[in-house]
Amino acid sequence: MSGLVGREQRRLSRWWHRQSLRSRLTVIAATAIAVSVFVAFQVASELMDQKLRDTAETQLRADARVLATSAQRVGLTKVQLPQYSGSGRLVRLILPDGSTRTPAGQPALPAVSERAGRVAQGASSDLLESTDWNDGYRIYTLRTVDGAVQVVDLADDGPVNQFGFGMLLIGLFCVVGGALIGRTVARTGLAPIDRLTAAAVRVAHTQDLDADIPNEGGGEIRRLIQAINDMLAALRDSRQAQRLLAEDAAHELKTPLTSLRLNIELLIRLDRRGTLGTALSAESRTRLLNDLGAQVAELSTLAAELTDLARGDVSDESTELLDLADVVLAAATQARSRMPDIEVALDVTSVWVSGRPAALRRAVLNLIDNAGKWSPPDQPVRIRLRAEDTSAVLEVDDAGPGIDDADIPRVFDRFYRADSARALPGSGLGLSIVKRVVHAHGGRVTVVRSARGGALLRVALPAAAPPAPFAATEGTAVR
């Protein structure tokens, strides 16, 4: 039985979820009105029934007092009882010996109850018996001098039934009207949603992200439309950034690929002629091969940086609480292996941040690589890390020529390279990756002229409280 009920519930749930929102609102409105009418009918029926009962009891008592007054004047055995007319209340006299008198032609009544008999014998003054109400009787017994009189009311359910039938008709009318009103309200209220859906479908089919959806309606509808327009704007910006990245990448790849192709074609042509060994001296061949190797390395670096930049903030690496000093030390070690001729001087204090270790290490490495390209061989790249208020501040400076004021606003742009840097290796993406990583971690990066005349790049990241085991050792410096 429980399994059958469960299947029916699941079937009803599936049916409900297949219905449109408009149909659901219609059903909800009709159901709410039906429940309201039913509750109102129940309450009104109870009130009306109680009122009828009170009225019937009051009338019973009044009729009984009139009959008792007449019986007291002439006695129960002599009082005149009018012939029953076929309607109205029924009466009965209970004599002292327990016998009864009733009007001629009156229908038979239930036998005198034991409690009514005790009233006739003087045990109490009156008695209202309603136990027989469901059988069609309500009997009121009133004691007199030598017995008791009884007035019997035949229960009439006609008014209650008529009231219930009227309420039923009203309820049906209200349910139907409520369903119609609910559907109309749902259609009107969901009209902006329909237009929004049509606009979204049109955007999906045409791929036209410039078609903003008209902001109409109010409240939740307006917020939903605004959110979708914001999403379209974000998609437009993403598409624009993607197009610019592709155009810039194509432009940057053109030069090294052209040079690489020309050098390779030269080698192939000389090899086909059989003059590879005689046309080029050993020094020229070495220089050409070194040039090819440098171009391949540059292309590899550019491809890796393009891949990293195109991924944006998408990364499988999770955010964790880490000591930024460890990240800086790891990046410095990697930089020393890549640029053994460049000295790296560290002045690092333990500062904890919340971030992605690999991304932060890549950003620090790019800063060191950028400084290493400009720093003279006899001048170290200086790296300082310290806590400043609520931030972790990392500074990387070199003793190079510095950055011109005209180049500072664009130094973090993709593929931007100052005129003085075009002869140096690099893709122009390193500092843009730094900016993206720092911004993704809620920080900021700036560039100023260092005290040594070169460039000083400063990164400020939100600091975090260190874990309890490391709190005691916080502030240790590494040089």
Helix (H, G, I), strand (E, B) or coil at 162: helix
Q: Which residues contact 328 (CB under 8 A, 6 or more apart)?
A: 346, 348, 364, 383, 385, 394
Q: Which residue has the tokens 């009103």?
A: 181
In the chain (479 residues long), the average pLDDT of successive 10-residue segments reads 68 70 72 78 77 80 83 79 75 82 82 82 80 63 84 70 73 76 70 73 74 67 78 77 64 66 77 68 75 70 62 63 91 81 87 88 85 81 90 88 68 57 52 83 87 86 81 48
CB neighbours of residue 313 within 10 Å: 10
User: What's the distance, CA 451 to chain centroid?
Assistant: 52
**The pLDDT value given to residue 227:** 80
**The pLDDT value given to residue 461:** 93
CA angle 469, 470, 476 (to 5 degrees): 150
Question: What are the residue ranges of helices labelled H in 274-356?
Answer: 276-279, 282-311, 324-338
Q: Are strands 381-388 and 455-462 parallel, antiparallel or unpaired?
A: unpaired
Give the largest CA-CA distance in the chain: 161
Nearest to 119 by CA among 128, 110, 111: 128
**The pLDDT value given to residue 253:** 64
State how far the Cα of 51 lies from the Cα of 307, in Å rounded to an integer: 85
**The pLDDT value given to residue 283:** 76
State how far the Cα of 278 lies from the Cα of 297, in Å rounded to an integer: 28
Q: Which residue has the tokens 């390209």?
A: 373
- DSSP-derived letter for residue 93 is E
Q: Which residues contact 416 (CB under 8 A, 6 or more apart)?
A: 407, 410, 428, 432
User: What's the distance, CA 376 to chain centroid?
Assistant: 56
**The pLDDT value given to residue 139:** 84
Taking CA atoms, 104 is separated from 80, 81, 92, 100, 296, in Å, by 11, 8, 11, 12, 129
Tokens of 268: 């192939």
State how far the Cα of 456 lies from the Cα of 399, in Å rounded to an integer: 9
State how far the Cα of 429 lies from the Cα of 411, in Å rounded to an integer: 10
Q: Please give the span between the terminal C-alpha atoms of the chain, in angstroms, as a whole number.
A: 78
- Residues written for the chain: 479
Helix (H, G, I), strand (E, B) or coil at 33: helix
**What Rg, from alpha-carbon coordinates, does the chain have?**
50
Contact between residue 438 and residue 371 where contact means Cβ atoms under 8 Å apart: no
Give the chain's domains with CATH numbers.
Answer: 75-156 (no CATH), 222-311 (1.10.287), 320-478 (3.30.565.10)
pTM of the predicted protein model: 0.45
Nearest to 368 by CA among 389, 408, 397, 325: 397
Q: Which residues contact 136 (CB under 8 A, 6 or more apart)?
A: 154, 155
State how far the Cα of 263 lies from the Cα of 256, in Å rounded to an integer: 11
State how far the Cα of 289 lies from the Cα of 395, in Å rounded to an integer: 38
State how far the Cα of 163 lies from the Cα of 319, in Å rounded to an integer: 71
Nearest to 329 by CA among 410, 404, 268, 385: 385
Phi-psi region of 453 (alpha: psi -120 to 50; beta: other; left: phi over 0): left
